[in-house]
Chain A
């Protein structure tokens, strides 16, 4: 008797279960179709719908509104909320109407100087950059207090969207991208060496990196693509975050250099090298500078191999590896293609403070920001000149990169001579100022 009643109860639940399953099934299918059509297929072909650009513009408008609200709120409450006057690039707003030298012109340089004493690009680099506008991430604004209900609601909405919708989407994409990379490169590894293999491997690498770029919602603008690195050269770029690799590799094919890691990274590395030659070092080999240099120069001499991608500031967490590559890449004597990467901090802070966050934590932060907006400049190739040693050459390349990206040129290590770089920049300041003084023209 009891048994019969139980069976009866069971039968009542079944139709609802079915309905639930059907609904879930449908939503998953819709989800994956959308994903496929709007994100993965364009990634395969390298096309873009312009969705991300639209997204960026909308976000900017919202941020502007949020900033105004904070400022208004701060004034109302008499809070001290100050902003720095200068732009990072030292634009001459104050001297715009200078046409003759005036005693007060000294104020401009004076204030710039004292500003740099109070807060330098260096310290800014090592703490989350303070923004003049608030991008709805509390981690980048220390002034956030409860100003208005509307603002808090907007922030809350932002949190829900970022963690509830964007983050799962991006994580799915990331896994797809990485998974495809491993699987496809392993398959290609079975093909015989030749043009077909190279072509396929290039396509696969590009496709997977593009998916990863979308996984981070990175909106990248490439400038001067005619200077893109060619085979047999070395591509040198400044290094802000581990994402730099993905950003560069989604626009061109490079041979990567690095130490073999264990775990997931190791799996990726091993499968990548099956499809096309990358340069991976064992831990023990990294300390041998001559071995490193030899392998790099062998690779570079073979013109069928892809250009090497190096970050002289180092991608490895292991600091000794950084020292190895610093001079090494400039001693090899092939053409160097400098690349400058500059991130726009308004959308999310890409800097990785490795002493504060681990890699996984960092990636999660990246994926829960609004977007990563950056610009990439391909600079004209440089070669080492007569009578220039590796260190001076390295400095020259570094200065070119810094100047292009509007980055403050920080010397690689304190032992190098400052002379050349400092004078060039001071001269530029003087040049800019002299152009302001239009009455000089009449005196010439």
Chain B
């Protein structure tokens, strides 16, 4: 317990961080240890190469996109606060949260998780998943295993099913609608032991 407190005191604005993300002190300490382990040169920031050093991430078909989601446009480094904020998307949703529409959505709500997944598809950030972007994701996930024609027919079918306003692209609302039966909280949550 003593070591938890001493680590916490080294992190600036940790109270605010915990409020915003909902992580407990133990979780923050653990993520901080992890952040420090990744930050091999002890600069206090992570760069894309530091993420690239994680082997399991490197062999993930969409590893590059996941790394990209940590760095907002133009940024080349990510500090501990941003690191934690992104990871907070994967906290299991709080079941007892009162549904108050005037309060901003917490970062681990269903909508926020969906937005995170949406931006993995929508790389040019224009608010729509175009056919080309969908094809790119499919290609990363399947690459050598299928032919180009098969990829295109999968993409066509997916857009056909999800695209309601027939603009040949999937907007965030259409994305959300197509996933309304999916248990997002189950698929996009990571649980901690400790």
| Residue ranges of A at the interface with B (Cβ–Cβ < 8 Å) | 80-85, 90, 94, 100-123, 130-132, 142-143, 408-411, 418, 422, 425-427, 429-431, 433-434, 437, 440, 443-444
Contacts and interface: CB of A to CB of B under 8 A. Distances in A.
User: Which one of B24, B56, B142, B144 has the highest number of Cβ atoms from chain A below 10 Å of its Cβ?
Assistant: B56
A430 B141 contact: yes
B187 A422 contact: no
Given A434-B142, A443-B150, A132 B193 contact: yes
14 contacts: A82-B191, A84-B190, A104-B179, A107-B117, A107-B188, A110-B66, A112-B56, A114-B87, A116-B55, A130-B194, A408-B56, A426-B59, A427-B144, A430-B143
A128 B15 CA distance: 29
Contacts, number: 151
Contacts of A121: 55-56
Contacts of B90: 111, 114, 118
A431 B145 contact: yes
B55 A409 contact: yes
Interface string B166-194: 00001000010011001010011111111
Contact of B24 (A80, A90, A427): A80
A150 B99 CA distance: 41
Contacts of B188: 107, 110-111
A102 B175 CA distance: 11
A130 B153 CA distance: 44
B37 interface: yes
A104 B170 CA distance: 14
A427 B175 CA distance: 28
Interface string B84-120: 0001001010000000000000000000000011001
A82 B193 contact: yes
B54 A82 contact: no
Contact of A105 (B116, B141, B145, B191): B141
Contacts of B187: 94, 104, 107-108, 111
Given A101-B154, A431-B145, A422 B51 contact: no
Contacts of B184: 104, 107
Contacts of B92: 82
Contacts of B194: 130, 142-143
A440 B146 contact: yes
Contacts of A434: 142, 145-146
A433 B59 contact: no
Contacts of B58: 418, 422, 426
B143 A106 contact: no
A109 B34 contact: no
A113 B182 contact: no
Contact of A101 (B55, B57, B138, B144): B138
Contact of A115 (B158, B162, B190, B193): B190
A410 B62 contact: no
A123 B179 CA distance: 35
B62 A106 contact: yes
Contacts of A444: 150
A110 B62 contact: yes
Contacts of B59: 422, 425-426, 429
Contacts of A430: 61, 141-145
Given A437-B142, A440-B146, 17 more contacts: A82-B191, A85-B190, A100-B157, A102-B158, A103-B162, A103-B170, A113-B57, A114-B90, A117-B51, A117-B66, A123-B34, A143-B193, A408-B56, A422-B55, A426-B58, A426-B60, A430-B143
Contacts of A142: 194
A103 B179 contact: yes
B116 to A, nearest CB: 8
A116 B190 contact: no
A105 B34 CA distance: 27
Contacts of B141: 105-106, 109, 430, 433
Interface string B110-143: 0000001100110000000000000001100111
Contacts of B146: 434, 440
A110 B117 CA distance: 8
A209 to B, nearest CB: 34
Contacts of A120: 34, 54-56
A106 B60 contact: no
B66 A113 contact: yes
Given A82-B193, A111-B187, A111-B190, A433 B60 contact: no
A268 B61 CA distance: 51
A114 B66 contact: yes
A107 B55 CA distance: 19
Contacts of A433: 61, 141-142, 145
A49 B187 CA distance: 46
Nearest to B27: A80
A127 B194 CA distance: 13
B190 A118 contact: yes
A123 B191 contact: no
Contacts of B121: 103, 106
Nearest to A88: B56
Contacts of B66: 110, 113-114, 117
Contacts of B116: 110
A112 B141 CA distance: 13
A82 B57 contact: no
Nearest to A107: B187
Nearest to B33: A123
Contacts of B137: 106
B31 interface: yes
B20 to A, nearest CB: 18
B90 to A, nearest CB: 5
